[in-house]
Amino acid sequence: MVRRVGVLVGSPRKASLNRKMALAMAALQPASLALEIIEIARLPLYNQDLDDADSAPPEWVSFRETLSGVDAVLFVTPEHNRSVPAPLKNAIDVGSRPYGKSAWNGKPGAIVSVSPGALGAFGANHHLRQSLVFLNVPCLQQPEAYIGGATKLFDSDGKLINDTTRDLLSGFLTAFAGWIEATRLKSGS
């Protein structure tokens, strides 16, 4: 069975290294996974008043529906000030509401964090894990993927040119495919 994986990229930047990494992962996906980017940059900021008044913006409604339809979620994110970038945190909040109807609940997840710096956005990776615990997104533990020095990993067309990173991502996706099956089996889905 092919599992649909929603990919959330934490940066809205046109030349985003994280988007390049997400696309590189889509090119490396095993036959059992189908990665699709779920766009988050244009989601209006979360405000509970709108849910309370049953007047959620169409962008929230469509995001929640898309998220509900995937089998698993993959986060590919930079770090902003040692934490999760605001667009991604907003998407997490939008997907988690209305209360009791979280679209995240039970979906297996995985995180790849990417930075031009040496630490590979470790802080964002682990702050994100904290939210995923609360949202009941069982998250792949190993291998971890903190990808630093990311400006050197792509050519001018955005193609991944580093063999070590390619091998790491391939192994990561294989492990994630196994994790999705194991998690789904446990939950009977």
Q: Which helix (H) or strand (E) holds 147?
A: strand 146-147
β partners of residue 154: 160
The upper half-sphere exposure of residue 27, i.e. CA atoms within 13 Å in the direction of its Cβ, equals 12
Least distance CB 93 / ligand FNR (angstroms): 19
Residue 79 interacting with ligand FNR (CB under 6 A): yes
- For residues 100-117, one letter each, b for 16 or more C-beta atoms within 10 angstroms of the residue's C-beta and e for the rest, the string is eebbbeebbbbbbbbbee
Amino acid at 187: S
What would the two tokens of residue 109 be?
Answer: 């997840």
- How many residues make contact with ligand FNR (CB under 6 A)? 15
Long-range contacts of 23-28 (CB under 8 A, 24+ apart): 23/158, 24/154, 24/159, 24/160, 24/166, 24/169, 25/74, 25/76, 25/112, 25/169, 25/172, 25/173, 27/160, 28/166, 28/169, 28/170, 28/173
Least distance CB 61 / ligand FNR (angstroms): 27
Least distance CB 38 / ligand FNR (angstroms): 16
- Mark the segment that binds ligand FNR (CB under 6 A) among 27-35, 43-51, 56-64, 75-83: 75-83
Residue 13 interacting with ligand FNR (CB under 6 A): yes
- For ligand FNR, the binding residue among 34, 44, 61, 82 (CB under 6 A) is 82
Residue 115 interacting with ligand FNR (CB under 6 A): yes
- For ligand FNR, the binding residue among 117, 129, 174, 181 (CB under 6 A) is 117
- For ligand FNR, the binding residue among 26, 62, 80, 175 (CB under 6 A) is 80
Residue 78 interacting with ligand FNR (CB under 6 A): yes
Least distance CB 131 / ligand FNR (angstroms): 17
Helix axes 17-28, 163-187, angle to 10 degrees: 70
Residue 18 interacting with ligand FNR (CB under 6 A): yes
Residue 87 interacting with ligand FNR (CB under 6 A): no
Q: Contact positions toward ligand FNR, by CB under 6 A?
A: 11, 13, 16-18, 78-82, 115-117, 119, 121
